[in-house]
């Protein structure tokens, strides 16, 4: 990825991360090691899977992480509610000299992932891990959400290309850029966002607006002018006034283009009964000898409306999807979290398990230094994911236990498996290969991995639950730790 963007990632954080950092400094814990994991608790959109995204920006964040003189000056100016300055001068000088020294392992962008398994693991000095938390979550949460939405939309489109054009209604310029890239990772063929195209080297596409047609005396004149201006990229928007007449005007221009040796690439319909209008348009275009002219449908589409259009037999060449994709309209956030799972002080010879119990069972965390094994059936469909502790290994039984129901178990022994978390940074230096930052490579990974899902896991409504579980030894260790911390032994 060659983004050309400049962000001060060190201050893209919540204030309490920096107040905790001063606390670690004051407490003499700057050399204590920690392990954190980022994961989400429920698959987005009530679906059967998610698509990991944002790791390329995470690599960029690591590469550029530093506290500048301006950053330090700003922090030095902050008042404490009780009087005086919030941060000590000596601590700020420590921050000024701080060099990130963490190891980060993450799934590759475009990996199909599921609830309650690590997408990212960060190990290193606890202060360093803490300072990364907010920006890391910001990178991965939003982009994973949009990439997942795009994958669902593209599944519904069943092979017809989808163009993302939600920039004008996206959540600001930064959100729009990340949404466009994530949408392409998720499967969109292109984006209307020209800056995203430049920064992330992804395909761009676009037609014209209703205002183009309205700026001419007649629709036919507008179409002719556009065909002259863009003979190699001519898609005409036919619903400014009357769709039926708009189609006839497009046919007139398409036949004129044929005579000049050009081609009308398509028409776009952006309102009305899209299924009925597309069938009517297809019939008229074919009758006129323009069978190679495509039909693009838009107008607040999402995976559900696209599925409905297909069920109605709509004649569609491609779709344009905007607001409901770029804003993840029906679910505003992924809800991913970043939790401490192990620590190691200078006096420790091994990692010490850490766990958060709380009053909600769903928020019970998993201790240890974790990774994920993905197992496969003989036909290459994925069979199940095992969350395990890299320092404790996996029992010979290779059994996973549903953390929400200890009676639900699955044996995965003798199946082929991959390990999902791969090096992204070592000692604060990015090691993620350029090919693993490329949006189009990630898009190919999505297509490959979605194809490995069972059809029941790809359903839009009430998908089958994919088996993700704790390695049986890890499950037992967690249970024993809860019993111990609750004081039941």
Task: State yes or no: pLDDT of 78 exceeds 90.
Answer: yes
Q: Which domains, ranges and CATH numbers included, belong to the chain?
A: 9-148+332-485 (3.20.140.10), 206-317 (3.20.20.70)
Report the distance separating Cα 91 and Cα 474, nearest Å.
39
Residue 151 backbone dihedrals phi, psi, to 5 degrees: -60, -40
Tell which wins on pLDDT, 145 or 397.
145
pLDDT, mean over the chain: 95
- Tell me how many degrees the CA angle 61-59-365 measures, rounded to the nearest 5: 90
Torsion of CA 478, 481, 485, 489, to 10 degrees: 130
The predicted pLDDT at position 139 comes to: 95
Q: Please, are residues 9 and 309 in contact by the beta-carbon 8 Å criterion? A: no
Q: How confident is the model at residue 7 (pLDDT cuts 50, 70, 90)?
A: low
Of 110, 95, 127, nearest to 28 (Cα)? 127
**Does residue 242 have a pLDDT over 90?**
yes
What's phi and psi for 410, nearest 5 deg?
-145, 135
How far, in Å, CA of 489 to CA of 482, rounded? 10
Across residues 49-66, what is the average pLDDT?
96
Q: What are phi and psi of 179, to 5 degrees?
A: -65, -40
Report DSSP state, residue 85.
B
The first and second tokens of residue 115, run together, are 């609830």
Q: Three-state DSSP class for 13?
A: coil
| Surface-to-core class of residue 23, CB atoms within 10 Å of its CB (0-12 exposed, 13-18 middle, 19+ buried) | middle
State the residue for tokens 């992480």. 65
Q: Could you tell me whether strands 422-426 and 429-430 are parallel, antiparallel, or unpaired per DSSP bridges?
A: antiparallel
pLDDT for 360 equals 79
Q: What is the pLDDT of residues 264-316, one digit of tens each?
A: 999 999 999 999 999 999 999 999 999 999 999 999 999 999 999 999 999 99
In this structure, is the dihedral angle defined by the CA atoms of residues 479, 482, 484 and 489, taken in order, positive or negative?
negative
């Amino acid at each position: 990825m060659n983004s050309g963007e400049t962000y001060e990632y060190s201050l893209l954080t919540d204030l309490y991360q920096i107040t905790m950092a001063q606390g670690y400094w004051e407490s003499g814990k700057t050399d204590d090691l920690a392990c954190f994991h980022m994961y989400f608790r429920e698959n987005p959109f009530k679906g059967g899977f998610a698509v990991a995204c944002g790791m390329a920006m995470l690599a960029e964040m690591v590469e550029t992480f530093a506290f500048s003189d301006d950053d330090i000056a700003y922090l030095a100016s902050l008042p404490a509610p009780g009087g005086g300055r919030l941060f000590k001068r000596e601590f700020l000088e420590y921050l000024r000299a701080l060099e990130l020294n963490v190891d980060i392992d993450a799934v590759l962008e475009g990996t199909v992932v599921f609830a309650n398994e690590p997408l990212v693991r960060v190990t290193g000095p606890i202060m360093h891990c803490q300072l990364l938390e907010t920006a890391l979550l910001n990178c991965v949460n939003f982009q994973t959400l949009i990439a997942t939405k795009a994958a669902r939309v593209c599944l519904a489109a069943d092979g017809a290309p989808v163009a993302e054009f939600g920039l004008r209604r996206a959540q600001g310029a930064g959100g729009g850029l990340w949404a466009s890239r994530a949408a392409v990772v998720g499967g969109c063929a292109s984006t209307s966002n020209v800056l995203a195209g430049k920064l992330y080297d992804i395909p761009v596409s676009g037609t014209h607006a209703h205002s183009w047609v309205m700026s001419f005396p007649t629709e036919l004149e507008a179409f002719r002018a556009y065909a002259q201006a863009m003979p190699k990229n001519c898609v005409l928007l036919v619903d400014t006034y009357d769709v039926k007449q708009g189609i006839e005007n497009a046919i007139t221009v398409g036949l004129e283009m044929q005579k000049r040796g050009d081609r009308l690439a398509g028409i776009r319909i952006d309102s009305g009964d899209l299924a009925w209008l597309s069938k009517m348009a297809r019939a008229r275009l074919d009758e006129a000898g323009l069978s190679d002219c495509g039909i693009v449908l838009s107008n607040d589409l999402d995976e559900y409306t696209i599925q409905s259009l297909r069920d109605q037999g709509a004649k569609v060449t491609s779709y344009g999807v905007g607001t409901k994709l770029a804003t993840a309209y029906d679910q505003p956030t992924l809800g991913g979290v970043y939790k401490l799972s192990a620590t190691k002080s200078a006096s420790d010879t091994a990692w010490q398990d850490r766990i958060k119990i709380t009053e909600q069972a769903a928020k019970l965390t998993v201790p240890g230094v974790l990774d994920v094994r993905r197992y496969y059936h003989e036909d290459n469909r994925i069979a199940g994911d095992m969350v395990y502790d890299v320092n404790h290994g996996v029992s010979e039984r290779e059994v996973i236990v549903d953390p929400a129901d200890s009676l639900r178990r699955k044996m995965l022994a003798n199946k082929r498996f991959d390990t999902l978390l791969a090096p992204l940074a070592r000692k604060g230096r990015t090691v993620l290969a350029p090919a693993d930052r490329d949006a189009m490579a990630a898009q190919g990974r999505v297509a490959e991995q979605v194809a490995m899902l069972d059809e029941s896991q790809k359903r839009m409504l009430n998908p089958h639950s994919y088996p993700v579980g704790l390695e049986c030894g890890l499950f037992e260790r967690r249970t024993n730790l809860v019993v111990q911390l609750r004081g039941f032994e």
